[in-house]
Chain A
């Protein structure tokens, strides 16, 4: 028969040690659940689809220094050369690269004018080859045509009449029916009309920590700028071999510019999430360390408690307790302490999460994660007390008659 009532009353009269362990469990629960929540949040962020064909794309920077340099002519020559290189699927000039941490943003609004609600978006200036070059999936509407592409000079403030946006952006602009965005006119720079002609499944912004990272738009521009990116997509498995070939070809074709930072999109993703990975490793270490400390704390308290109660355990054995009943006593005692710790820990975990949500704009913690924390700490507690409980069960009943 379980001695739950007796254990509770005994704990109530001898509560300091048990309370300290319960508080340790509560603290571990609070930190562990929120740390796992943060790890999961970062993992989720890292696993989001950028929309790009990451395995087969790379980019480089083209920086011109020559005087009276014909940027447009060289751009056409460069793109023609790259696109015709065997193994290359397509290539574009682009103003920014997804996940690279550096880019442009604008806002679109439904109606023209100041003080209207506008939704921010990353903006990529590309031509009609963008969808093919980046490996995007057009899920509604149409692509740009060659006639749509305009020349954009540095400092220019006017925008083309057409745009292609991501599905997430369309959902934001038209929550009731994202597909209805196609054909709609929206306004950029508060007053300039722009028609949405297509929707792509996904294309992330350059900033992974931005809460609007899924909102991007393509505009049909060729930039007449002395610094730009060329974004290149290759056939499967040929990226790494083509990177030095294209770099060399571009460098040798024109001595009035510098080709630098030839980088794969995969490397850009890794660099982009380097801090996330490091933070996750630290948080994982914290969770493991705290759990171990709690486990050892339980072991320590249980051993101390058993050593203090050796004669009492012998007496219980003399009164008829089996080894299993002695073990159950300590397992149940730990279960009760863990339960108290877990209840306090749940309150702490939710409280800390509420603070994190309000401070760092995170999503609320899930019930499943709290349930996981409770179960995990019960298991840790029971495993930790297993050895001391077995030790207690081995105390001889004759201890009751010994003078200790």
Chain B
């Protein structure tokens, strides 16, 4: 479970203070598929970065899978990212010099799995996204949709509790986008919690819950968790 209470994030430069998140509150339960929408600059990427432990927050309380994220040091956050969170990026973020097999291998090495276990997970997850036959190919030899599938395989290889997707279909045409979204729905049905940031309203509708972020706050919840306070209108 992911719980954020009154999270604030302030970016401070020499002259300017930017309040990216203001008293941000959200609860995501196990098995949820939450889409996060909002206009550019609303704070949705900042939310995703904080939720994915890619960035620290200024104040507030953030519990991930029962662990207080605020108490973790950099190594602790790295460990938690590796063990509990899978990322899917808009630009796929595959390593261009490595083939598909090695790309999926990267987080598994950080996890410290032995070679046999890594091989099993790589093959299983590439099979899961339908690219087992192309594991020796380089990312540049694949279409955008296939690259995003590899990124999903990489994200799933560590068996994460949460899958965070940042505009996962943003660089894909509509056919490829549908395919990726269908895959995400299947993954969610198999029990993985998904939080997806998107500006595509149609895509957002496919999630079980949709929240809208505006000016750094949750401005609208279509489905509100009963444990959470009312979002600020």
Contacts and interface: CB of A to CB of B under 8 A. Distances in A.
A280 B86 CA distance: 60
B24 interface: no
Given A1-B110, A6-B109, A9-B102, A319 B97 contact: no
Interface stretch (A228-236, A254-262, A310-318): A310-318
Interface stretch (B76-84, B126-134, B181-189, B221-229): B76-84
A370 B27 CA distance: 64
A33 to B, nearest CB: 33
Nearest to B154: A319
Nearest to B83: A320
Given A6-B102, A9-B98, A10-B95, A319 B107 contact: yes
A315 B102 contact: no
A211 interface: no
B97 A401 contact: no
B106 interface: yes
Contacts of B102: 5-6, 9
Interface in B38-84: 45, 48-49, 52-55, 74-75, 78-79, 81-83
Contacts of B158: 320
A318 B98 contact: no
B179 interface: no
Nearest to B74: A323
B91 to A, nearest CB: 7
A317 B82 CA distance: 9
Contacts of B110: 1, 316, 319-322, 325
A107 interface: no
A319 B89 contact: no
A397 interface: yes
A400 interface: yes
A44 interface: no
A10 B82 CA distance: 22
A14 to B, nearest CB: 5
A320 B79 contact: yes
Contacts, number: 91
A3 B118 CA distance: 13
A401 B48 contact: yes
Interface string A47-75: 00000000000000000000000000000
Interface in A141-186: none
A361 interface: no
Contact of A320 (B48, B98, B111, B138): B111
A3 B48 CA distance: 28
A284 to B, nearest CB: 40
B91 A319 contact: no
Nearest to A320: B82
A323 B52 CA distance: 17
A397 B105 contact: no
B162 interface: no
Contact of A401 (B45, B53, B154): B45
Contacts of A1: 109-110, 112
B93 interface: yes
B89 to A, nearest CB: 6
Interface string B87-105: 1011101010111001001
A403 interface: yes
B166 interface: yes
Interface string A1-41: 10101100110011000000000000000000000000000
Contact of A319 (B87, B112, B166): B87
A362 interface: no
Contact of B98 (A10, A321, A401): A10
Contacts of B138: 13
Given A10-B98, A401-B48, A401-B49, A320 B81 contact: yes
A316 B87 CA distance: 11
Interface string A380-404: 0000000000000000111011010
Contacts of B90: 401, 403
A315 B93 CA distance: 7
A321 B54 contact: no
A403 B154 CA distance: 20
Contacts of A321: 78, 82, 110
B55 A396 contact: yes
A319 B106 contact: yes
Given A316-B110, A400-B87, 6 more contacts: A1-B112, A9-B99, A311-B93, A318-B81, A319-B110, A320-B110
Closest 4 CB pairs of A and B: A320-B82, A10-B97, A319-B107, A398-B54
20 contacts: A1-B110, A3-B109, A9-B99, A10-B95, A311-B93, A312-B93, A315-B95, A318-B54, A319-B87, A320-B79, A320-B82, A322-B74, A322-B78, A322-B110, A323-B74, A324-B75, A397-B54, A401-B48, A401-B54, A403-B90
